[in-house]
Every structure is written in structure tokens, then in C-alpha cells.
Structure 1
């Protein structure tokens, strides 16, 4: 077993490890998907932790994640620290844990501090009357620009992976989650920047506000930024729904075969 804790949470290490050892029986389920399971645990002194348990990799990938590539849990931990060290927000990283056998990686966990957010970016795509709607999106465009200027490509940049919190000074902070897939560049081209934001939404009202602000920062024509991003967003949505439709057909076929 490989265990790495942040120096800021070493005093909680033994307590947290007890929860991990009894992960299946304790905790509150926050998300239970087919790939990963996320639970929260109340630790002493008011600390609430978020534990993401990754699904055991398929046979060949067990070897890959043990000897060739870093595990998703480790990448999440390291990328979280990278973001914080470069002035960006993410729930405080606490630890990652890897369990291996002679062949490769088995269970793995990424542990972070649970964040009490005000809303998820997705909420802005479904409620355009949300208080401060324009202000939040302009701030998000500025945040995205800073991220890109630092060469950070957040691959899973979807509407569910940005959490928003309003500070006491009235400014909005954006916290990135689901961090195991990130690339780092010396420079990001305009095309790559637009591609990186294409998974967020295809909502025209949302995109127009983001693009108007982003265009000012990148010194490009607003219509060019909007048309490029809207086209990429529409293409992504089309491909996403086509893949889901195909997957549902395959799963339906499998169910019929079992019957």
C-alpha cells in the first residue's frame, strides 16, 4: 500500500486511515456511479473529508497504473497541489492511497476537504435568472483566461466540475474538481483554449457573456471567439449524445441477450 498525506493533515492521518479501512460500511454517499464512489466522513475538530474511491482498473490497466502511468488518485492529488501552488482553487488535497498486489493497482482513493459551495457551474446553464448571473460568468471568463495563460488544460472541464463560492468581499471563487486529467503547456493556442471550454455548455446566453469577456482579455474580435466556441460546443454535444445513444443500444442488446 502506498500512502501520501499532505503535511497540513498529518495529525489526522491515523483517524482518516481508519475510515478508509472501513470505507464500505461508513460514510455518507455523495455520488455513486458505475466508475467511482464518493463519500464524505466527519472527522474530529469539524473537518469533513471527501473520499473518492476509484473503480479497480481492468486487468491490463492494473499493471499500467502500477508500473507505467500514475494512478488517477495520485494524479488528482498532485494536480490539486499544482493548482494551489499556481494560485487557483480546488478543495484542499489531503492524501492519496493506492493498494496493489503482485500484478498491479487494485483500490485507490483520493482524499480532499469537503467544500461547502454556493452553486455548481451547471446551475448557471439551467437557470439564467440566477442572482448575479452576468457577474459570475464574467468572473468565470477571467478565471478561465488566467488558467489558460498559465498553460493549464483542464481536460474534464464540464459544467459539473467547477464549484462556485462567493467570498465575503463579494467576489466569486471557482474551485475545480475531478482533476486526474490535466495537461500543462508552455503556451495554449486559441483553438486549444476554445476546445478546452467546449464541454461546459452550448447555452447561447451563457456563452455570449463568457465570450464577450474572454475576447477583451485575449484581444480578439468578440464574434470570432463566440462563433468558434459555439461551434465546438455544439460539436461536442452532438458527439456526446451520439455516443450515449449508441451505448444505450448496446446495453439494450446485452440485456436482451441475457434474457
Structure 2
């Protein structure tokens, strides 16, 4: 087995620290998420680092990710640099580690700083719009800014949007960004980006109205597009997921 380590410019001196963490990944660190891909946090002299280990691909995908397409971890390492350079928040990438056997990819790892924001969009399933208007307005402006900058998160779901109030203003950070598109984002496509969020119909209507204002678009068309995208995504899943809120249409 061989191992390749790429580090971001700010962490070029940390290859030994990265390699030590990877060597001890299995039996150390604090588990954040366990599943096909495992995420752990590690306390280092430079702060808390999050490490995501991507599962070994199937035999076919080992060939694909070795020769034809960038692995998810590699994209997760490279995309934040584009997001950060555009002035938006996402955890700073530290390193990408790729293990291979006989020239084919095995485990791969993405190492990043830990986002300091503790809140996620899961909390809005049953929220009343009037109680969270300031958060939603700031969030929609953040999202519209991403779209205007040609940044489109293809998994814009509650767990991938972290936020908190800092010095009196709401700040947002996007994570799990290996599935991104970079290029022009139309109004209709931008409206579809909200489909995976949790919330009641009035939550989505308010978001649509604010998005129309932020991008100088037709309000009625945005409401129709957001609601259509929301219903298309959630109606087939209504019975599949045991959500902690009532899914109304």
C-alpha cells in the first residue's frame, strides 16, 4: 500500500501531524458520524481538526476514481478553496490523503478545520416564520450571494448548513461540499436549491419571496418554483423518513 498526502498552502508544514492522525484514525479521535463514511474530530496543537474517511469504493468505482474521475475526498479538499476565495465561509481545508493498492484507490481522507458554528437547519421543521425572520433573511441573502458568484451546492440540506450569530450578525458556513457546481445559476435553478430544507409551506414561501428580492426576480415565479421543487423532493419521501416534524403540503 502507498499513501499520497496533499496539504493546503497554510498547512504545508503539517504533513507529519496529518500522517500521524491517519495512522491512528481507527483507534483514536472522537466520532462525529459513523456509517459508510466515518467522521472524527481530533484535538491538535493547531486546534480541532475534522477528518472524514471515505469508504473503499467498489471494484468498478476503484477504477473510475483512480483513472477517470476525481475522488470525493479530493473534490472536498479542492472545492473549499474556490468557496473561500469567493468570500464565503466553509471550513478551511487542511489535507487530502489517498491510499492505494496496486495503483487502485482504497481509503481516502479529507482533513479540515472544525467549523465553530453549532446550529444547523434541522431546527426549523416546525418553526414559525415570524420567530426566525432575521435568520431566514440573512440565510437567503447568503444563498443568493453564492448563486450570483456561480457557486451551487448540490446537497444543500439542513445538515450541511451551519450557522450562528457573531458580533450581532448571522454567519453561515457550508460543509460536505464535494458535490458542487461552478458556473451561472439561473433563478429557477437557484429556487430548486432550497428543496431539501426542513420546514412548513410558509417557511418555503417566505424564503422564495426573499430570494426574489435578493436576485431582483419575479416573486410569484420564485414562490411557484420553490414550492414545486420542495413538493417534488419531499412527497415521494414522506413515508420513507421518520422526520421529527409534520410534513405538510
Superposed pair shares fold, TM > 0.5: yes
SS of the residue corresponding to residue 188 of structure 2 reads: helix
Question: Which among 28, 31, 44 is matched to residue 29 of structure 1?
Answer: 31
Supply the distance in 2 between the matched residues of 1:128 and 1:41 (Cα, whole angstroms): 37
SS of the residue corresponding to residue 193 of structure 2 reads: helix
Supply the distance in 2 between the matched residues of 1:91 and 1:188 (Cα, whole angstroms): 23
Supply the distance in 1 between the matched residues of 2:238 and 2:110 (Cα, whole angstroms): 30
Q: Does 1:180 align with 2:178?
A: yes
- Aligned-pair distance for 1:16? 2.6
| Contact 1:122-1:160 within 8 A present in 2 as well | yes
The structure whose residues are more often helix, as a share, is: 1
Which residue pairs with 1:226 in the alignment?
A: 223
- Aligned-pair distance for 1:244? 6.7
Which residue pairs with 1:257 in the alignment?
A: none
SS of the residue corresponding to residue 51 of structure 2 reads: strand
Which residue pairs with 2:149 in the alignment?
A: 150
- Aligned-pair distance for 1:222? 2.3
Question: Which among 207, 211, 216 is matched to residue 210 of structure 1?
Answer: 207
- Structure 2 residue runs of 5 or longer lacking an equivalent are 243-249
Which residue pairs with 2:246 in the alignment?
A: none
SS of the residue corresponding to residue 157 of structure 2 reads: coil
| Contact 1:202-1:233 within 8 A present in 2 as well | no
Q: Deviations over 1:197-251 (max 9, x none)?
A: 2122352232122222111122233232112101111110123447779xxxxxx
Supply the distance in 1 between the matched residues of 2:195 and 2:23 (Cα, whole angstroms): 39
Q: Deviations over 1:116-137 (max 9, x none)?
A: 213102223344489x611110
TM-score for the superposition, normalised by structure 1: 0.86
Q: Deviations over 1:41-67 (max 9, x none)?
A: 01114x100000011111100111111
Higher deviation after alignment, 71-80 or 204-213 = 204-213
Which residue pairs with 2:233 in the alignment?
A: 236
Aligned length: 240
Q: Deviations over 1:19-60 (max 9, x none)?
A: 111110000000112x21000001114x10000001111110
Which residue pairs with 1:98 in the alignment?
A: 98
Which residue pairs with 1:80 in the alignment?
A: 80
Q: Does 1:18 align with 2:20?
A: yes
- Structure 1 residue runs of 5 or longer lacking an equivalent are 246-259
